[in-house]
Amino acid sequence: MKILILTHRVPFPQNGGYPIVVCNTIRGLVSLGHSVSLVALNEKIHRHEEEERDPLLDKIQYRSYDIDTSMSLFDGFLTTFNKNAYNIDRYYDQEFEKLLIGEVRNSAYDIIQFEGLFVAPYIDPVRRNCKARLIYRAHNIEHQVWERLALQKNDPLKKLYLRLMSRRIKKYELQQINKFDAIAVFTEQDKSTMLMYGAKIPVEVVPVGIDLSQYRPDFSKTEFPSLFFLGSLEWLPNREGIEWFLHSFYSDIANDELRVKLYVAGTDIPEEFDDYEVLGKIFIQGEVDDGPEFVNSKAVMIVPLLSGGGMRVKIIEGMAMQKCIISTALGAEGLHYKNGVNIMIANTREEFFKAIRRCIADEDYCKAVGTNARRLVEEQHDTYKVTRNLVELFEQLL
């Protein structure tokens, strides 16, 4: 098959959930002998430079288009008076639409996969200009992210704004879903939501897949006991979750009630997070050069997600590295886990405290949970197995 992947950001370097999912999908499709092209919007805040060239680019056709999606405070104020979903609209660019029309006219694609809601504004011109089957890959039920963020806010103005954005995004989301030929989601929960919202096209669960050959744990380099968080704080649910965790456990770690070091790493960590640092106990590291190496060097992953949706790629990666993971039930959504066997579920401060205490007191237990986690990923999240399921969906539509 000839397949076009359309993304709202360049998935290189592979330093976050979205890029990892996109690149592993491409990697799996190429391994199965399919011809893959990637057309990506190149956001200013994620601007891709040529020196970051990924070897995967040598196996595909690739084009990108620079776009500025940044929003000033004034723009944010104006969105309250605009009935459209501005968070989606800012990804529309007339010149990119022309480029995309030329791409689909000149190449006889069998499948065009739209990676997320932010490229949905281009479905109508693509539909008019080619005969390919169009797939919508729902990385999240997007409006639910905003709904859940609103529930966590105490400030009435922030709550009102988030609810307003959620309603607009939901309206847009529901208008788009039946324009595609099929929808691929990561979790059964998201499939149920799509059907509840009136999806009349096929909706299939295709979970997150990773290349397991890239995850090789080495326990001789792991610091025990230690806790770590790894994620992009540009994504509001991540920032909200780690802020809650730091606020909740700052004193416990600083005063040695919990005798463990905490490392916070990832992209877009604000400067004010430096205020949480405690010499020798809490480390705010920012972006790390080698994600798997950082994960390998620490013992227990925390995922204190309070809002959001979909499937957390960082959890899949942590499991692949045989980490013991403490997550909220929401953070572990979509995983076929067994609490206490291949992950630890904690939804309150008290539950997190008890889970951390158990982990730092029992290294053998942590290793057992990590071993079971790796086994789960091997069975259900190997990208080469997962991609075959996606291809089966494609074949059903042709």
Give the pLDDT mean for 170-183.
Answer: 94
Query: Which residue spans of the chain are classified as CATH 3.40.50.2000?
Result: 2-209+383-397, 213-380
pLDDT at 73 over 60: no
For the domain spanning 213-380, the CATH number is 3.40.50.2000
Going by their DSSP bridges, the two strands 223-230 and 261-265 should be labelled as parallel
Partners of 230 in beta bridges: 265
Question: Worst-scoring range by mean pLDDT, 53-57, 208-212, 222-226?
Answer: 53-57
Would you say 284 and 296 are in contact if contact means Cβ atoms under 8 Å apart? no
pLDDT digits (tens, 9 = 90+) for 109-142: 999 999 999 999 999 999 999 999 999 999 988 8
Nearest CA-CA partner of 313 in 209, 197, 383: 209
- DSSP sequence for 246-278: HHHHHHHHHTTSS--EEEEE-SS--GGGGGG-B
What is the number of other CB atoms lying within 10 angstroms of the CB of residue 342?
23
Long-range contacts of 79-87 (CB under 8 A, 24+ apart): 79/165, 80/161, 80/164, 83/168, 84/168, 84/172, 85/165, 85/168, 85/169, 85/171, 85/172, 86/168, 87/165, 87/169
Query: Is a pLDDT exceeding 60 seen at residue 51?
Result: no
Token digits of residue 88: 């989606």
**What's the whole-number mean pLDDT along residues 353-362?**
97
Choose the weakest-confidence range: 12-21, 92-101, 250-259, 343-352: 12-21
What is the mean pLDDT of the segment spanning 144-154? 78
What's the whole-number mean pLDDT along residues 72-86? 55
Give the model's pLDDT for residue 291. 87
Helix (H, G, I), strand (E, B) or coil at 320: helix
Model pLDDT, residue 169: 87
pLDDT at 157 over 60: yes
Helix (H, G, I), strand (E, B) or coil at 298: strand
User: Which spans in 94-205 are helix H?
Assistant: 94-106, 123-129, 142-152, 156-176, 188-196
pTM of the entire structure? 0.89
Lowest mean pLDDT among 73-87, 128-142, 303-317: 73-87
Q: How far apart are CA 8 and CA 117, in angstroms?
A: 9
Positive or negative: CA dihedral 38, 176, 181, 27? positive
- Report pLDDT for 71: 61
388: which 2 tokens?
A: 């075959």
pLDDT tens-digit readout, 197-217: 999 999 999 999 999 999 999
Distance CA 188, CA 175 (A): 21
Is residue 342 left, alpha or beta, with left meaning phi > 0 and alpha meaning psi from -120 to 50?
alpha
pLDDT at 69: 79
Contact 59, 25 (CB under 8 A): no
* The pLDDT of residue 183 is above 90: yes
Asked if 138 and 114 count as a contact pair (C-beta separation under 8 A), the reply is: no
Q: What angle do CA 305, 309, 311 make, to 5 degrees?
A: 90
pLDDT over threshold 70, residue 184? yes
Q: How many Å apart are CA 272 and CA 31, to the nearest integer?
A: 44
Percent of the chain with pLDDT over 70: 93
Q: How many CB atoms lie within 10 A of CB 70?
A: 10
**Which has more pLDDT, 144 or 85?**
144
Q: Which residue has the higher pLDDT, 46 or 392?
A: 392
Nearest to 148 by CA among 302, 336, 330, 313: 330
**Token representation of residue 35:** 């011809």
pLDDT category of residue 149 using cuts at 50, 70 and 90: confident
**Residues 205 and 137: beta-carbon distance below 8 Å:** no
β-bridge partners, 264 = 229, 284
pLDDT band, very low/low/confident/very high, at 242 (cuts 50, 70, 90): very high
* Residue whose token pair is 């609490």: 339
Contact 18, 9 (CB under 8 A): yes
80 pLDDT above the threshold of 60: no
Confidence tier at 107 by pLDDT (50, 70, 90): very high
Task: Point out the least confidently predicted range of 18-32, 48-62, 176-190, 300-314.
Answer: 48-62
Q: Which of 78-82, 110-114, 151-155, 383-387 has the lowest mean pLDDT?
A: 78-82
Q: What CATH class does 2-209+383-397 carry?
A: alpha beta
pLDDT the model gives residue 74: 47
Is the separation of the CB atoms in 334 and 189 below 8 Å?
Answer: yes
pLDDT-based confidence at 17, cuts 50/70/90? confident
- Position 152 scores a pLDDT of 76
* Mean pLDDT rounded to a whole number for the chain: 91
301: β partners:
228, 325
Q: Which residue has the higher pLDDT, 147 or 127?
A: 127
Q: Compute the half-sphere exposure of residue 68: CA atoms within 13 Å on the CB side of its CA.
A: 3
How confident is the model over 241-270, as a mean pLDDT? 95
Q: Are 36 and 61 in contact (CB under 8 A)?
A: yes
